[in-house]
Structure 1
Amino acid sequence: MSVNREEIKQLIDFIHEEDAAEVYDFIGYLNMKREREAIDQFDLDLLTRDKELIRQVQKSQGDRTNGRIYNQEQGLKYLQNKIREFESEQNL
C-alpha cells in the first residue's frame, strides 16, 4: 500500500489538539506492536534452532503418548523415592 507521507503530515497539522494526542498515542501503539512482533519472531527463530530444546519437546510428547506422565501426587512420591535413593547412597 502506497502512502503519501506529506499528505499525512498535512492532515495532522489541521486536526484538533485532542485528536492530535490520540494520533500520537496510536503511532506509539503501532511502534510498540511492531517491536513486539519483531521480538516474538526473533524468539521463535532462536527456539526453532535450539536442537536440545526440540529434543526435550519431542521426548515429552513421546512420554505423554506412552502414558509416562505423573500427576501431582505421583510426582511427589517419585521425587521422595529419588531423595531416599540418593540419601542411602550417601550413607554407604
Structure 2
Amino acid sequence: MSVNREELKRMIDQIPEQDAIEVLDFIGYLNMKREREVSEQIDALSEDADLIRQAQKSREDRQVGRIYDQQAGLDYSRNTGLSP
C-alpha cells in the first residue's frame, strides 16, 4: 500500500494540537513495536542451533582456506547437509 506522505503531512498540519500529540504517540508506539519485533527475530536466530552450527562451520572453512565460488559452495553445502 502506497502512502502519499505529503497528504499525510497536510492532514497532520490541519488537526488540533491534542490530536497531533496522539498521532505522535501512535507513531512512537509503531516504532517501538517494530523494534520489539526485530529484537524478537534476532533473539530467535541467536537460539537457532542449526544456524549457529552453520555459522561456526563457515568460520572454520574460511580459517582453513575452504572458500568456494557460488556453485561449488552450493554443492558443498548440499553434500555436507548444511542445506535442505
TM range (shorter): 0.5 to 0.7
Alignment of 1:1-92 (within 5 A): 1-48=1-48, 49-50=51-52
Query: Which residue of 2 is the match for residue 66 of structure 1?
Result: none
Unmatched tracts of structure 1, length 5 or more: 52-92
RMSD over equivalenced CA pairs, Å: 1.1
**Whose Rg is larger?**
1
Unmatched tracts of structure 2, length 5 or more: 54-84
Higher relative contact order (CA 8 A, sep 6+): 2
Query: Which residue of 1 is the match for residue 56 of structure 2?
Result: none
Q: Deviations over 1:2-40 (max 9, x none)?
A: 111111000000000000000000000000000000000
Q: Deviations over 1:39-76 (max 9, x none)?
A: 0001111111356xxxxxxxxxxxxxxxxxxxxxxxxx
What fraction of aligned residue pairs are identical, expressed as a percent?
A: 61
Letter in 2 for 1:34: R
TM-score (norm 2): 0.57
Q: Give the 3-state SS of the residue equivalent to 1:2 in structure 2.
A: coil
Give the distance between the partners of 1:22 and 1:45, measured in 2 at CA. 35
Runs of 4+ displaced beyond 3 Å: none
